Amino acid sequence: MANTLSQMLAEVQEVNDTVRGFLHQFEVGNLLRKCRAHKIKGFPVMQIFVYLLGCMFSPISTYMSMKIGTYNEEFSKNTIYRFCNDAGINWHKFVRLLSERIIRQFMRPATSEKRIEYFVLDDTPFAKTGRKTELVAKFFNHVTMKYQFGFRILTLIWTDEYSSVPIDFCPLSSGKDNLLKCPARKCDRRSIAGQIRMQSQQKAPDIILDMLRKAIHTGHSAKYVLFDSWFATPKGITSIKHELSLNIIAMLKKSGKVFYEYNGQQLDIKKIYSMNRKRPGRSKYLLSVEVNLIQRQNRTIISSIPVRIVYVRNKANRKDWIALISTDLDISEEEIIRRYGARWNIEVYFKTCKQYLKLLRECNSPSFDAFTCHLSIVAVRYMILSVSQRSNSDDRTIGELFWIITAEVAEITYNHSLCLILQALLETVQEFFHASDEQMDAFVVSFIGKLPKHLQQALCPELDDTCCA
């Protein structure tokens, strides 16, 4: 029993050291102060913040820890509740600033300039009941194909196809009173609390544009925006392309209400597919067409942009197809398909947060401010894991030691390594067959004479003069 307890204490200490190292490396305390999270009286903010980050590694809740006597913190649970319910802390700004600092200081220096960066957007269902829980609304869960109460957590992440960092989030409620189970509490609309409540009741395309605009204003950058068919509306795609100058790669709905200008006609995606001949054989895609995406308002065309639609065979059903849209016409169809695959990183983010970072089962507060704080804590936890994973698997994060190692490896050239292999071969042949030096010289001359000229030129400077005579 004593060995088990000592091992648990050692693991907890190691986790705390990792968290504190992360906070010190990226100066998280300064960012918290910029977002109005500072000490007025009582305990330091960082002390409470470190505890909340470390709760993901605890198998029991704070309440149960106090109940069984394993709670060792100086502050009480009421202090934690007051911190989480503080409506003056701008948690959205904090997550944006911290993610920008991680990407700029840690991710990009260890990444090739040729590697493409992406913004990825998606939402995930968050079931939450309770008659007094703010802004809980009825929504349709497309996973279970049932209606339920809760939120849809709209999330924006940055990824370079290797690491992912969350940038922003928004719990989507509903702007319709008949779908709300509990309305929001009254607060000043100019305050942070009022702004996040109003944002949660807006439409998703408007929130997406606002999240991308704020991310770029903070300092984030990417070449493409990726999302699935639920957000691939003409208004959203044209707004992102025109206002933010970002290219979009997304999946399209098989809808008969969205029209594209193709060969002088306004057709939907199904008619375009049916009137064209498909590529034969086992091609990666079935059809590729260039069309104009039309944005309408009250049956009036507002704007249109040139896009490429790529029809791909559905792996789940070989007789079915899916369609991808790209606003970048300079890349090939294969590259569109490959780059859209980076969208899967946000699914990994959701699974990790739900399964390991206690996204679903840690916050039971009815306050929308506490729920926002909880989502921010989960995002920071994922950042810690992302930085740790990059540090442990990418040798370039070692720093100067990496360049020393690569310099030592570069000293052994291809020509020299080839001569070392040949030298070992000659010594083995002479030892095994007991050949004389004259026989070995003749063997080497005959062997090199049968090699291609570029290998002869590579070997002769490294070998003895007798070998190249």
101-113 tens-digit pLDDT? 999 999 998 777 8
pLDDT interval class at 469 (50, 70, 90): very low
Q: How high is the pLDDT of residue 155? A: 97
Structure tokens given for 223: 């070449």
Q: How many other CB atoms are found less than 10 A from the CB of residue 51?
A: 22
Per-domain residue ranges for the chain?
1-222+356-402, 224-341, 412-459
Q: Which has the higher per-residue pLDDT, 237 or 282? A: 237
5 — pLDDT class (breaks 50, 70, 90):
very low
Which has the higher per-residue pLDDT, 315 or 10? 315
d(Cα 141, Cα 125) in Å, to the nearest integer? 7
Percent of the chain with pLDDT over 70: 89
CB 289 within 8 A of CB 272: yes
Measured between alpha carbons, how far apart are the two ends of the chain, in Å? 77
User: What is d(CA 142, CA 89) in angstroms, rounded to the nearest whole number?
Assistant: 33
pLDDT > 80? residue 398:
no
Residue 465: per-residue pLDDT: 45
Higher pLDDT, 188 or 168: 168
User: Could you give the CA distance from residue 311 to residue 278 in angstroms, rounded to a whole number?
Assistant: 9
For residues 166 and 119, what is the distance between their CA atoms, to the nearest angstrom? Answer: 10
- Do residues 124 and 152 lie in contact, with contact meaning Cβ atoms separated by under 8 Å? yes
3-state DSSP helix/strand/coil percent for the chain, to nearest 5? Answer: 50, 20, 35
Token output for 260: 């594209």
- Strand 300-313 and strand 265-267: the pairing is unpaired
- Across residues 94-101, what is the average pLDDT? 97
pTM of the predicted model as reported, rounded to 2 decimal places: 0.81
Task: Please indicate whether residue 77 or residue 214 has the higher confidence score (pLDDT).
Answer: 214
Region for 240 from its dihedrals, namely left if φ exceeds 0, alpha if ψ lies in -120 to 50, beta otherwise: alpha
**Single-letter amino acid code for the residue at 263:** N
Q: Does residue 299 have a pLDDT over 70?
A: yes
- Stated as kind and residue range, the H or E segment containing 290 is strand 287-297
pLDDT at 410 over 60: no
Least confident interval from 47-56, 110-119, 451-460 = 451-460
Question: 351 falls in which pLDDT band (50, 70, 90)?
Answer: very high
